[in-house]
Amino acid sequence: MASIIESAQRLGVQLDEEGALQWLAAIAADAASDDHIVSHESGTFGHRVSMLDFTPRDLERFRRIGAIVEVTGPPAVAESALALSGSAAQSKIQSFPGDCDYFQRLNIKADTREEACRIMADLMRDAARRTATGDPFQFLEAKLGNYPENCEHGGQSRKKGTPITWTPVEVEAQSIQLDLADGTTRTLTWHEAALDPGWCKLDWVVADPERKALSNASNVIDVTWEAPDGEIVPLDGYLDAYFQEVYLDADAMPTFAKVAKFVSDDALDEYVERLESEVRKYLTKQVNYGKAAKRMYNIFRLSGRHVDAAYVRELFDEPATILYQVWSLLSTLDNATQPGTSIPIDAVRDQADALIMQVIAELEGEEEAEIVAALMTLRRTLEDQDAGERRSSDLEAARAHVINLVNTFFRAKLEGVPTIREYIEQMQQH
C-alpha cells in the first residue's frame, strides 16, 4: 500500500488512504467466496465483490430505464433476471459513468432448442417494436445472429461469423438483404438468424427529463434454453459469468440461481481471459486507455492484484475522468438527433449545456478551453439535422480531440505505477 500511496502522490492522484484500506480489507475477506448477497434495503443482489462498488444512489432511475430495456414474456415461458453492468454497476466509484449498460439472463422453457430460438426472436422483436419510439426513448438497433458468409450489408463489408446489426426498419421487416461475392443477393430472415443467435443486444437512447440528461442504454441478453428434463443450455454456446452484475430485483434470485448452477467451474478464469483480450484490443488496435483501465480494474480485483485494483479504483474519481463521460455522450447526442427521432431537441440542448458546464467545473486551462470550444461547435451542428457531412466531421473532430485527452490522462496515470506498467507492456506484447 505504501508504494501505491507514493505513486499516487507523485502522479497527482487524490487517494483516499483510509477508504482504500477499508476496501482492501473487505475484498480480501470476500475474494475467496463465490457467494451472492442480497441487500434487503435496496432490493438488489450480486456477487460479494461486485456489491462492494455499488451504491443505490441512482437505483430508481436505473429501474425506470430497466423497464424500457428489459425483454419480457409470459412467466410460464420466459424467466428474467435484469442487472446493471459496466460503470452503472460500479456507481460507488464511478463519479462520471459512461452509458447505462444492462445485462439480462433470459431463461426460456421450450420442448426443443429451435422452439426456444423462435421464442427468443419473437420476444426481442416485441421489445424493439414496443420501444421503437416514445417519450422518453428511441430504439436504435439490435444485434442478433452471425453473418453466414462473407458479404456486404448496408453498404459495408461483413465477415462470416461476425454479429449482425439490424436497423429498426429491418427489425420491423424481419429480414435483411446480403450482397454476396458472386453478385447474387441473399435474404436472411430474423428467425433464421436466431438459430445461431450469437451476441444478443438491444440499444436505445433515453432521455431523463428530471436530470436533464441523455444516455445510451443497452441490454446484453444471455439467453438460455431450459429443456423439459431441467437441463439449461446457453443458446449461443456460452453461459456468461456473474462477476460484474448487480441485479435490480431480489425476487429474481431464484431464476439467477437456477441458471448460475450451469456456469462453468472455470468461469472466473474464462471471464478474466475475455477481459484481457479486450484490454489488448484497447491498448493496441482500438487505442482507448479509458476502456482499458475499466477492464483492468475488474481483472485486478478478481485475480488477486488487489493493491493495483485499489489504485485504479481511485482514478475513476479524478476530475479528468469526466473526459471519458464526454467521449461516451458525444455518440448519445448524435443518436438523439438523427432524423425521425422522438427525443426532443430541448433534451439535446440541455445535455450539451450540462456537458459544457461540467467540463468548466472540473477542468482548467487549455484543456478546458479546447473541449468547450469543440462542444459548442458540435452543439450548433447537432441542432441542424440537415448538416450532413459537416455534422459528421464536427462530431469526429470532437471525439478525436476528447479521446486523445482520455488516452493521455489514463496512460500517464497507469504507466506511472511500475506493476501496472509491466502489466500493460505484457498485454501489448501478446
User: Which cell numbers in the block locate residue 179?
Assistant: 450482397
Task: Give the relative orientation of helices 267-284 and 289-302 as an angle to the nearest 10 degrees.
Answer: 160
Q: How far apart are CA 155 and CA 150, in angstroms?
A: 13
Q: How far apart are CA 40 and CA 51, in angstroms?
A: 13
Model pLDDT, residue 297: 95
Neighbour-count burial of 400, counting CB atoms closer than 10 A to its CB (0-12 exposed, 13-18 middle, 19+ buried): exposed
* DSSP code, position 14: -
* DSSP code, position 206: E
Residues in the chain: 430
Model pLDDT, residue 195: 97
* DSSP code, position 412: H
Model pLDDT, residue 89: 92
DSSP 40-90: TTTTEEEEHHHHTT--GGGHHHHHHHHHHH-----TTTEEEEEEE-GGGGG
Model pLDDT, residue 99: 83
362-to-93, 357, 369, 404, 415 alpha-carbon distances in Å: 17, 9, 12, 17, 23
Which parts of the chain have pLDDT scores under 70?
30-34, 385-388
Model pLDDT, residue 34: 61
pTM exceeding 0.85? yes
SS3 278: helix
287-to-233, 245, 297, 395, 406 alpha-carbon distances in Å: 35, 26, 17, 18, 10
DSSP 110-148: -SSHHHHHHHHHHHHHHHHHHTSEETTEEEEEEEEEE-S
Candidates 291, 283, 82, 285; CA nearest to 202 is: 82
The 10 Å Cβ neighbour count of residue 300 is: 22
User: Which cell numbers in the block locate residue 237?
Assistant: 454456446
